[in-house]
Amino acid sequence: MADVQVQDPRPLVGEPLAIDLLNTEWVASGGPVDLLATDGGVRAWLAENGMSAAPAPGTAQALITARQAIRDVLAARGDDATSRDRLNRVLGHGCLRLTIGPRMNPEQALEADDPAWLPAVMAAANLLELLESAPDRIRRCQHPACVLWFFDTTRNGTRRWCSMAVCGNRAKATRHYDRVKNSR
């Protein structure tokens, strides 16, 4: 039987790798959904991010571990040694190989001690890049019922919602309802 490619069903895709990994958990129809809970979901996430859609054994668990470590670091904003240690353990599976190419160009390759950990290490390393370049642009959606994260690329850095069409409109509708209700 041919391997069926699972489409990525997430409500928000296209974020930087670390944020995209966080967004493999979301809420739909009032309940939590975890894309990484199935092999097809793991393959869909890998494919969406340009990685081999044939994961090594243990890739799903490595990604889940990295996702939780990234979430913990961002939620604590670095104030929690335990969350930093958890992320450092994920990063400890990787190393940066530096070489010089044929035209004297420097080359870098991120490698992992186990192929199952490479996607997780890549996501954790991406978080370091985001924290170095613009830590204040990594945000969680401000809608109380949303668990998604985003990297704010707006010019003025005032984005509040993962999606204006979904969470932004929900917030507007709630404010309108409250105004109408309170004016009676």
Question: In 59-168, which ranges are continuous DSSP H helix?
Answer: 59-76, 81-91, 118-133
117-149 confidence digits (pLDDT tens): 999 999 999 999 999 999 999 999 998 889 999
Average pLDDT across the chain, whole number: 89
Contact 42/36 with Cβ under 8 angstroms?
Answer: yes
Q: Using a pLDDT cut of 90, give the percent of the chain over it.
A: 68
SS3 call for 149 = strand
In eight-state DSSP terms, residue 117 is G
End-to-end alpha-carbon separation of the chain, Å?
63
Q: Can you give the pTM of this predicted structure?
A: 0.86
pLDDT for 171 equals 56
CA dihedral 120, 137, 171, 8 (to 10 degrees): -30
Q: What is the mean pLDDT of residues 88-92?
A: 98
Architecture of domain 17-135: Orthogonal Bundle (1.10)
pLDDT for 43 equals 94
Report the run of H or E that residue 19 belongs to, with start and end.
helix 17-22
Which of 57, 58, 36, 42 lies closest to 5 in space, CA to CA?
Answer: 42
Higher pLDDT, 113 or 159: 113
Q: Using a pLDDT cut of 70, give the percent of the chain over it.
A: 86
Domain ranges of the chain: 17-135
User: Is residue 72 pLDDT above 90, yes or no?
Assistant: yes
Higher pLDDT, 88 or 172: 88
Contact 66/42 with Cβ under 8 angstroms?
Answer: no
Pairing outcome for strands 149-151 and 94-100: unpaired
pLDDT for 180 equals 63
4-43 confidence digits (pLDDT tens): 556 778 888 899 999 999 999 999 888 999 999 999 999 9
Q: What is the mean pLDDT of residues 145-163?
A: 91
pLDDT for 95 equals 96
Contact 70/62 with Cβ under 8 angstroms?
Answer: no
Q: How many CB atoms lie within 10 A of CB 1?
A: 3
pLDDT for 2 equals 47
pLDDT for 182 equals 72
